[in-house]
Chain A
Amino acid sequence: MSLIFEQVQPAAGTHVLAIGVGRYPHLLGGDGRLAARPLGLKQLQSPPVSLQHFLRWCFAPADAAAGSGFSNAGAPLASVEALVSSAQPLLLDTPGGAQQVDTATRDNIQDAFERWLQRLRSHADNIGVFYFCGHGIQVSDHYLLAEDFGRHAGLPWLNAFDFSNTVRAVEREIAGSVFYFIDACREISRDVAMTLGADPHALLAADLSRKLSRQSQTVILATGEGELAFAPQGGQVSRFTAALVGALSGYCGIREAGSASWNVSGENLATAVRSLLEFEALLSPGRPQVSEQQVSGTAVPLLRLNRVPQVRVMLDLAPQQYRPRYELYLESLKGGRVAQSLLDQVFRVDLPRGFYDVGALDPSGVLPALLHAEEELMPPAYALTLRCEP
Chain B
Amino acid sequence: MKQIAVRLNYASMSQGPDGVSATPTFPVRLLDAEGAVLAEGAASVDQPAVLQTDDRQEQVFVRLTWPSGRTETQRLALRSGEEAYSVEFSDSRIAANEWSAWAIPKLNPQTPLLRHGSRLNLDLELARFDKVWLRLWKFAGGVWTLQPLQPQATYRNDTAWQLDLELDAAAWLLQLGGSKVIWRFISLPGGGPARVLITPRDSDDPRADALKVVVTSHRGEAETLLEFLARDALRSAKTLAGSAALAQQLFAAKLADPVSAVAGAYYLLRANPQHNQPLDWYENLYREFRWLPDAAIVYCTRMLREGLRDAPARRAVRKLFGECLERGWPVFGEGVSLLQENAALLRGSGKRAENPDYARVMALGAARAWAGAAASFYGRHPDEPSALQWVGMPGAPRRHRLDPALRYSATPPGRPASVKEKTAKPYPPAGPSATNVDRSRNAAEPAAVAPADAVFLLGSIPR
Contact = CB atoms under 8 A, between A and B. Distances in A.
Interface of A: 37, 39-40, 138-141, 156, 162, 164-165, 168, 172, 188-197, 199-202, 205-206, 208-212, 214-215, 224-227, 254-257, 262, 267-268, 270, 287-288, 290, 293-299, 308, 332-334, 352-355, 374, 376-378
Given A190-B366, A191-B387, A355 B405 contact: no
Given A40-B405, A197-B411, 13 more contacts: A40-B408, A140-B363, A195-B411, A197-B417, A202-B349, A214-B273, A215-B273, A267-B233, A287-B206, A288-B205, A294-B232, A352-B34, A355-B75
Nearest to B409: A195
Contacts of A298: 271-274
Interface stretch (B80-88, B132-140, B302-310): B302-310
Nearest to A201: B349
27 contacts: A139-B362, A190-B367, A191-B387, A191-B389, A192-B405, A192-B406, A195-B419, A196-B409, A197-B411, A199-B350, A201-B350, A212-B307, A215-B274, A254-B36, A254-B235, A257-B38, A257-B40, A267-B232, A267-B234, A290-B205, A296-B270, A298-B274, A333-B75, A353-B35, A374-B75, A376-B61, A376-B71
A190 B38 CA distance: 45
Contacts of B158: none
A257 B306 contact: no
A197 B206 contact: no
A156 B37 contact: no
B366 A139 contact: yes
Given A189-B405, A190-B366, A297-B271, A290 B344 contact: no
B272 A354 contact: no
Contact of A140 (B39, B345, B366): B366
Interface in B50-83: 59, 61, 63, 71, 73, 75
Interface string B299-332: 0000011111100001000000000000000000
A195 B61 contact: no
A164 B345 CA distance: 10
Contacts of A194: 363, 366, 387, 419-420
Given A37-B408, A197-B411, A257 B39 contact: yes
A367 B344 CA distance: 64
Contact of A165 (B232, B270, B344, B417): B344
A267 B228 CA distance: 12
Contact of A209 (B38, B308, B344): B308
Of A190, A332, A334, which is in contact with the most chain B CB atoms at under 10 Å from its CB?
A: A190
Contacts of A287: 206
A280 to B, nearest CB: 14
B272 A288 contact: no
Given A189-B405, A212-B305, A224-B205, A195 B271 contact: no
B166 interface: no
Interface string B140-182: 0000000000000000000000000000000000000000000
A156 to B, nearest CB: 7
Contacts of A40: 405, 408
Contacts of B337: 294
Given A212-B305, A227-B207, A296-B273, A192 B408 contact: yes
Interface residues of B, number: 70
Nearest to B53: A257
B234 A295 contact: yes
B412 A197 contact: yes
A199 B349 contact: yes
Contacts of A165: 344, 349
Contacts of B426: none
Nearest to B52: A257
Interface in B346-369: 346, 348-350, 352, 361-367
Contacts of A288: 204-206
A354 B60 CA distance: 11
Contacts of A254: 36-37, 235
A378 B362 contact: no
B412 A156 contact: yes
Interface string B202-240: 001111000000000000000000000000111100100
B406 A209 contact: no
Contact of B232 (A197, A208, A270): A270
B37 A255 contact: yes
A188 B305 contact: no
Contacts of A334: 33-34
Contacts of A296: 234, 270-271, 273
B301 to A, nearest CB: 9
A211 B307 contact: yes
A190 B387 contact: yes
B386 interface: yes
Given A165-B344, A295-B234, A355 B362 contact: no
B403 A189 contact: yes
B310 to A, nearest CB: 8
Contacts of A352: 34
A334 B235 CA distance: 26
Of A156, A214, A333, which is in contact with the most chain B CB atoms at under 10 Å from its CB?
A: A333
A332 B32 CA distance: 12
Nearest to A203: B349
A261 to B, nearest CB: 11
A224 B207 contact: yes
A258 B113 CA distance: 39
